[in-house]
Structure 1
């Protein structure tokens, strides 16, 4: 049996996924969670073979949880299952240690196939997203530029961003200017929106 942990903040989606997986004779759903903050403790308690994680969840997002699981429980392999087919998310998920990436509008058999493949030690990536990711390339933003744009999305002033991130206002302005140029935006708000849409934040 392949033991699967599910984490998705949308109860209907989580329930539907669990019901679908339970129809397979070789899959066992051992935990269903609605928050990223619950995953590590539940994984330690239930020892899943596969953790099926959404990207956007309350508490800790799926990408942060992927890195935690990869470090704390390397035998548990992670598949990201999300609505957001953004190439940036794919790149960040794989960098965090995910072994698979599936979008929620995929056929059910594709998700089941992904679980079985990843369980055998292989990787699985949604083919259309993999192709789009190759065309688009990696995020041009540095980690610090991404941090500044994330904080910008909250609508604060340069002084607010500097205070939140522990940087000088001049450094924040430099990072914003660079990020605006790299995203080809006109304003910092537009840069944050464009970067988020590509999955870079």
Structure 2
């Protein structure tokens, strides 16, 4: 029996997943939860075979939860479901060594087959998501530029970044200007958003 926990914040979708999976003789849904915190508690309590995690959840999101599971050394396999074909998300999921990464609009038969394949030790990624990863391109940013954009994403001003990194404000502006040009962005905030979406931050 494959024991599964479903973590999905959309109640209707969570219920649909659970109902459809319960029709399968070899699958048992041991818990269904609406957010990352409850998922983390349920995973530690039930010790499931597979965690089916939504990527966008309140509190702890699916990717952060995957990292928590890996850091804790828990043996359960991780399958991420998402509506977003973002290469940045997929890259982070691959870094967390998830076993499955599926789009929510896949047929239910694909999900069920993916669950069984993951239990056999395979990795399953939706075709459109794999294509997004392949198309993400090379990272043109330097380590310093990445650092600047990461701090920008955290809401720091140019002055705050210069103090944090012991650099002049002119140097910080030069790095940010270079990153903005490389990413063909209109602002440092937009450059940070582009870089994150591509998995470079």
TM bucket normalised to smaller: 0.7 to 0.9
Query: How much does 1:81 deviate?
Result: 0.3
- Residue equivalent to 2:47: 47
Go from structure 1 to structure 2 and tell me whether the alpha carbon gap of 1:14 and 1:159 turns closer, same or farther (over 3 Å shift): farther
1:88 and 1:139 in contact (8 A); partners too: no
Go from structure 1 to structure 2 and tell me whether the alpha carbon gap of 1:66 and 1:145 turns closer, same or farther (over 3 Å shift): farther
> Unpaired runs of 5+ in structure 2?
none
- Residue equivalent to 1:123: 123
- Residue equivalent to 1:192: 192
Secondary structure of the corresponding residue to residue 136 of structure 1 = coil
Distance 1:184 1:109 in 2: 41
2:87 and 2:197 in contact (8 A); partners too: no
Distance 1:140 1:54 in 2: 30
Query: How much does 1:116 deviate?
Result: 0.8
| Stretch moving more, 152-161 or 20-29 | 152-161
How many residues get paired? 199
Query: How much does 1:137 deviate?
Result: 3.6
Query: How much does 1:93 deviate?
Result: 0.2
Match runs of 1:157-176 below 5 Å: 157-159=157-159, 166-168=164-166, 170=168, 173=173, 176=176
1:63 and 1:92 in contact (8 A); partners too: yes
TM-score (norm 2): 0.82
Match runs of 1:12-51 below 5 Å: 12-51=12-51
Match runs of 1:27-176 below 5 Å: 27-137=27-137, 148-149=148-149, 152-153=152-153, 157-159=157-159, 166-168=164-166, 170=168, 173=173, 176=176
Go from structure 1 to structure 2 and tell me whether the alpha carbon gap of 1:179 and 1:116 turns closer, same or farther (over 3 Å shift): farther
> Unpaired runs of 5+ in structure 1?
none
1:4 and 1:27 in contact (8 A); partners too: yes
Query: How much does 1:140 deviate?
Result: 5.2
Query: How much does 1:128 deviate?
Result: 1.9
1:4 and 1:28 in contact (8 A); partners too: yes
Which entry has the higher C-alpha Rg, 1 or 2?
2
2:180 and 2:186 in contact (8 A); partners too: yes
RMSD of the alignment, in Å?
2.8
